[in-house]
Amino acid sequence: MGDTVMNHVASSGGDIANTADVVLSVKDLWIEYLTSRGPVRAVRGATFDLHQGESLALIGESGSGKTTLGLSLIRLLPHTARIPQGQITYRRKDRTSEVLSLGAEDMRRFRWEECAMVFQGAQNALNPVLTIRDQFVDTVQAHRRQGQRQIHERAEELLRLVQLEPDRVLRAYPHELSGGMRQRVLIAMSLLLQPQILILDEPTTALDILTQRAVIDVLRRLKEQLGFATIFVSHDLSLAAELADRVATMYAGRIVELGPVDDIFYRSAHPYTKALLEAVPTVVGNDEKLISIPGSPPDLRNLPEGCPFHPRCAFVEDRCRTSDVPVEWVSNRQEVACLRWRDVRGEVKS
Amino acid sequence: MSLIEVEHASQRFLTRRGLITALNDVSVGLETSEVLCLVGESGSGKTTLGKMIAGLRRPTSGRLLFEGKDVWTSSTEEYARYRRAVQIVHQDPYASLNPVHRVREILGAPLLRHRITSGGAATEKRIREILTQVDLTPPDDFIDKYPHQLSGGQRQRVSIARALTLEPRVIVADEAVSMVDTSIRVSLLNTLLNLRERFEVAFLFITHDLGIAKYFGWSGDTAVMYLGQVVEHARTRDLIANPSHPYTRALLSAIPEPDPELTRKKQKVLVRSMEIPSLLNLPSGCTFHPRCPIWESGLCDQKAPALLRVDDTREVACHVVAREAVVTR
């Protein structure tokens, strides 16, 4: 399978042609949910590589497919989901594995040891009747034979890294900790088995501003010190601006734009990314004009023909209403699915 | 005479774990067609204050005045007039609309109940007018719909329309755009701003998002709340450009910006502790002192600061800031 990855990256040329440090490679992934009214395609042909130590933000609104895509990477999709097509390839120094064809026991090991996830509303993901210490021990012992002592040492080290006092926290039950503390406990716990990849779904949503800041700073520091790769799923552009090396914008199940954070924010080539940025206020600075995006997010059951964003797009042309939109390379590191990306970058509206 | 005046109002709740002071001696006012944004973190009392102003909670002590009259001691007719004049838009449009009623009934019921229209064609005409005012156009596409047939943004517009049926003077919007997707949030805010201009509605706009407060309240005021008290109250533009209270400064500096360079360059004001104290066990003196970067031992942990006017348009509750302001004057 190495071939397919090489092909995809080779077509990009330049900067990221080096596949040596790709830890996760998603190729043409389709995911659908079976519903009483027929299948709904939540993810449509997602393709991206995750490099060692990088942090990739999946940005999108509700229904864009970002959480579905995140969950599929560790195969935690609900039973009604199906993956009719696509590949998820995980690489470690000496071996590669196809995540979608791992057996049950290999999959169990893959989760947390290789790829850990911190869920949305993670504050409620801890077991209420066990102390934090017991939950750390259980987690390690589900994967490795390790003595309590060793586990403690590792737990203490990680808790200090997330700015918590190990003595106090390890003895506590979840309800004795604040939301922000629980979130940091989960981040520490997710790193217990030194995974190469950490997936975070809306890691700061529902946290208060100062707590949110603490979590952001902790995530940045951990990434620098431990060097794992992160994928975080969020609706929050500010979080991407803070934490991401690269950003993928999702709309109606597709990755419509992918590139380095500065290119996405300052040289966006997709009208949707651009419109989102114009719709979000900065806090400091003067009054800005915010521009609203007309219409509403699309119904996945009933997507418009052509480009799914066309009914809301300021750059729409006739061909957008009918033709399929291929992903094109804007530069050697930024790709976009828009027929008019040259005009979008150069700001020529129809 | 202010449209709405809250005078030294407190709100206490008796819970199983003890007495909670959700609002502690708060005074704010609202003028016709003015915007007042209430910002703060969870537990700051912003929703409690909103509910008090909407008449849903009687203050434990202090007064709520509507056009100069004490709401809770006024006559039945005056009270009814007040209840019509102040309407509320809730956060969750999935929970605040009756799922078994169509838009027509949702908007028709208050019109008939308050005898604003007499039913039949007049009511129908008025419903269509209001739908147009909240940009649910053409009204024919929406009037026969049930809430589940509408998107989140459209539902929130129905909630706004429902508030408008009674031709209110004040709308309390409690996190009214927080659950709406980014791409449709701005148009919803613009609809609200238009109503303010067209009908001179005043807004009490409650939000945890200072970016949204800045956009919506740019020409109005913002009050920052912390543990049941207003700690800073100023014109929104002044508050954003030049925050005074150490808590306001910490908040503004902590918020990530949707701009990579801006957010990297932002100077962070560090607080001494990440944890918000419990309302059951508030710190002595200034309730912010255990987290405050500029607190002074023997002063801030002893004596609670009053909300003092430090310049023409700004009030701050901080010993240190108040002292410096006097010195520089």
ipTM for the complex shown: 0.85
Mind listing the pLDDT tens digit for each residue in B131-141?
A: 999 999 899 99
Between residues B296 and A284, the one the model is more confident about: B296
Question: Hey, which bits of A170-212 come out as E strands?
Answer: 197-201
Q: Is A289 on the interface with B (CB under 8 A)?
A: no
| Host H or E run for residue A170 | helix A166-171
pLDDT for the residue A349: 57
Mind listing the pLDDT tens digit for each residue in A146-179?
A: 999 999 999 999 999 998 999 999 999 999 998 8
Residue numbers in B near A294 (CB within 8 A): 187
Specify which residues A7 forms β-bridges with: none
Nearest CA among B317, B87, B315 for reference residue B222: B315
How far is Cα B222 from Cα B202, in angstroms, rounded to an integer?
Answer: 14
| Host H or E run for residue B83 | helix B76-85
Binning pLDDT at 50, 70 and 90, where does residue A3 land?
Answer: very low
Q: What is the mean pLDDT of residues A86-113?
A: 94
Q: Locate the chain B residue with the closest alpha carbon to A241.
A: B260
Cβ contact B251–A181 (<8 Å): no
pLDDT for the residue A6: 37
**Position A4 pLDDT exceeds 70:** no
Q: Locate the chain B residue with the closest alpha carbon to A265.
A: B259
Query: String of b and e for B244-275 (b: at least 16 CB within 10 Å)?
Result: bbbbbbbbbbbbbbbbbebbeebeebebeebe
pLDDT for the residue A8: 40
Residue numbers in A near B211 (CB within 8 A): 280-283
Specify which residues A225 forms β-bridges with: none
Only one residue has tokens 């850990």, namely A116
Q: What is the mean pLDDT of residues B122-128?
A: 95
Q: What is the mean pLDDT of residues B68-97?
A: 93
Q: Is A302 on the interface with B (CB under 8 A)?
A: no
Q: Locate the chain B residue with the closest alpha carbon to A247.
A: B260
pLDDT for the residue B268: 85
Mind listing the pLDDT tens digit for each residue in A259-295?
A: 999 999 999 999 999 999 999 999 988 877 898 888 8
**Position B144 pLDDT exceeds 90:** yes
**Position A16 pLDDT exceeds 70:** no
pLDDT for the residue A180: 85
Residue numbers in B near A297 (CB within 8 A): 151, 181, 183-184
Mind listing the pLDDT tens digit for each residue in B227-279?
A: 999 999 999 999 999 999 999 999 999 999 999 999 999 888 888 887 888 88
Binning pLDDT at 50, 70 and 90, where does residue A12 land?
Answer: very low
pLDDT for the residue B61: 96
- CA dihedral over B128, B133, B134, B139, signed as positive or negative: positive
| Poorest-pLDDT segment among A205-209, A267-271, B85-89, B318-322 | A205-209
pLDDT for the residue B270: 86
Percent of chain A with pLDDT over 90: 73
Give Dmax (Cα) for chain A.
67
Q: Is A209 on the interface with B (CB under 8 A)?
A: yes
Neighbouring C-beta atoms of residue B104, cutoff 10 Å: 18
Q: Is A292 on the interface with B (CB under 8 A)?
A: yes
Residue numbers in A near B236 (CB within 8 A): none
**Position A14 pLDDT exceeds 60:** no
Only one residue has tokens 């064609």, namely B121
pLDDT for the residue B327: 59
Q: Mean pLDDT, chain B, as a whole number? A: 93
Binning pLDDT at 50, 70 and 90, where does residue A37 land?
Answer: confident
Distance of CA A195 to the CA centre of its chain: 16
Only one residue has tokens 């790769």, namely A229
Nearest CA among A240, A242, A275, A238 for reference residue A258: A240
